[in-house]
Amino acid sequence: MILYNSLGQTKQEFVPHTPGKVNMYTCGPTVYHYAHIGNLRTYIMEDVLEKYLRFLGYDVNRVMNITDVGHLTSDADTGEDKMLAGAKREHKTVLEIAKFYTDAFFKDCEKLNIKRPDVVEPATNCIDDFINMISVLLDKGYAYIAGGNVYFDTSKLDNYYVFGNMNEEDLAVGVRDSVEEDVNKRNKADFVLWFTKSKFDSQELKWESPWGLGYPGWHIECSCISYKHNGEYLDIHCGGIDNAFPHHTNEIAQSEAFLGHPWCKYWFHVLHLNDARGKMSKSKGDFLTVSLLESKGYNPLVYRMFCLQSHYRKPLTFSYESLDNTAKAYDKLINRISALSKAGEPDLDKAKPLIDSFKEALDNDLNTSLGLTSVYDILKADVDDATKLYAINEIDKVLSLDLTSGKGATVKAETDDEFAAEVEKLIEERTKARAEKDWATADAIRDKLKDMNVVVVDTKDGIEWHVEK
């Protein structure tokens, strides 16, 4: 398989350290809020990569951290811990926030058919591992203590800017964003490994360490969690492109200084999902979630297909208009596939070239949009239905669009029997409440129907309803 590697910035043949085995690491979510569909674009494309590697026969060990401490509001190590900001916003503890949004993240993943990684490890589980790695970095002279914090000394490395396309100006932007520059740093690019002193001393979670009561920096968690579960050699590390610098750059600095040898061979970065205002981000206030799409009637898999229709290395702009086009295409596809006869046995020899054309697309830097067209080619192919269904099922192990069991583009549609029965029942109860002049109940039911996007219309023939998208 050929993959674009951010390290070297070229397309390269993917060859893992150990033949047949892939150690994979994914930067997990910072669980202070719901994931927006931009974050989920990254996880969808990583899921396709993981599944495709398995499809090729690799034994994959995929590790993901859950950031529940240390990720500050600016990636340049300044500002407040995002978790604390989330806890304050919702008048809850950091641990309550972490649990709630971790569960919410995996629920979203499930709806998008994103497989749960083999290992999921919250940062707060690994404090001893962080302390150990930081101690080694101090012993080896790669770290220093200043103003109560432990810093990584980037001047000790021959090449800190490994991805080539970053410079100190980029970091300075991060610093400017949060106004204050950390005067303890020896070099502008140095970053915190362990905090004991911060302007934000209301930090809720703190641990004893050789450097005093404090908490880890964000970057150290990924180096440690990867090392803990994937060992000394990592084959592929994934994340959104905004993580390349400084986060991944810092991970490489720490891990290689700690290990004393090159660490990760391939870096897979997914470009951003943008909306009309630019990069979708949680700090911009209203952001799109899977639940919001569902509440508007979309099957979350339509969003998955929307992502697969474009290449992961191109920015993708979201609009409801484009999503509607995908929804129509998804419906058509599901209808065509469900019309295939399930009788008979597939002809595996005839299925092979059909599946091979899909492989050819994904082998070329995970070209999912071309991969999707293979499904249409299969439908047009001169083979029997059983063979078509077999080939589509095989491909769907990677695409994960429920192509052969799909329910279509809309989740809560008038055609959904269970949903319709619930709506009818609510309307009946509302009519009864109104007749009894129980306005409170009638209003509560009206609100519930509104939340379900159901529009109720009184016509001369009685009450009618439909789902508003």
Binding mask 43-82 for ligand AMP (x = CB under 6 A): ------------------------x---------------
Looking at residues 220 to 239 of the shown chain, list those that interact with ligand AMP (rule: CB under 6 A): 239
> What does 7 bind: ligand AMP, Zn ion, none (CB cut-off 5 to 8 Å by kind)?
none
DSSP annotation of 178 = T
Closer to Zn ion at the Cβ: 33 or 247?
A: 247
Binding mask 75-114 for ligand AMP (x = CB under 6 A): ----------------------------------------
**Peptide bond between residue 246 and the one before it cis (omega within 30 degrees of 0):** yes
Min CB(103)–ligand AMP separation in Å: 15
Min CB(67)–Zn ion separation in Å: 7
Alpha helix ranges (H) inside 64-206: 82-90, 94-111, 127-139, 168-177
Min CB(306)–ligand AMP separation in Å: 13
- Output the CA torsion sign for 221, 224, 228, 232: positive
Interaction between residue 27 and ligand AMP (CB under 6 A):
yes
Considering only 3, 7, 24, 27, the residue that binds Zn ion (CB under 5 A) is: 27
Q: Are strands 143-146 and 149-152 parallel, antiparallel or unpaired?
A: antiparallel
Q: Tokens 């519930």 correspond to what residue?
A: 448
Long-range pairs for 303-307 at CB < 8 Å and ≥24 separation?
303/37, 303/40, 303/112, 304/44, 304/112, 304/113, 304/400, 304/401, 305/329, 305/330, 305/372, 305/401, 307/41, 307/44, 307/45, 307/368
Closer to Zn ion at the Cβ: 222 or 442?
A: 222
Judged by CB under 6 A, the stretch of 39-47, 181-189, 357-365, 381-389 that binds ligand AMP is: 39-47
Q: Are strands 316-317 and 273-275 parallel, antiparallel or unpaired?
A: parallel
> What does 280 bind: ligand AMP, Zn ion, none (CB cut-off 5 to 8 Å by kind)?
ligand AMP
Judged by CB under 5 A, the stretch of 19-27, 74-82, 263-271, 423-431 that binds Zn ion is: 19-27
Q: In whole angstroms, give the CA distance from residue 379 to residue 373.
A: 10
| Cβ contact 298:341 at 8 Å | no
The half-sphere exposure of 245 on its side-chain side, counting CA atoms within 13 A, is: 18
Closer to ligand AMP at the Cβ: 220 or 403?
A: 220
Interaction between residue 400 and ligand AMP (CB under 6 A):
no
Helix (H, G, I), strand (E, B) or coil at 254: helix
> What does 222 bind: ligand AMP, Zn ion, none (CB cut-off 5 to 8 Å by kind)?
Zn ion
| Cβ contact 220:133 at 8 Å | yes
Interaction between residue 324 and ligand AMP (CB under 6 A):
no
- Angle among Cα 411, 415, 421 to the nearest 5 degrees reads 95
Q: In whole angstroms, give the CA distance from residue 135 to residue 270.
A: 33
Min CB(263)–ligand AMP separation in Å: 19
> What does 137 bind: ligand AMP, Zn ion, none (CB cut-off 5 to 8 Å by kind)?
none
Min CB(24)–ligand AMP separation in Å: 14
Min CB(160)–Zn ion separation in Å: 17
CB under 8 Å to 457, separation ≥6 — which residues? 463, 464, 465, 466
Considering only 198, 243, 326, 368, the residue that binds ligand AMP (CB under 6 A) is: 243
DSSP E strand boundaries for 179-230: 191-195, 215-216
Which residue ranges make up the site for ligand AMP (CB under 6 A)? 27, 29-30, 38-39, 41-42, 67, 239-240, 242-243, 270, 272-273, 279-281
Which residue ranges make up the site for Zn ion (CB under 5 A)? 27, 222
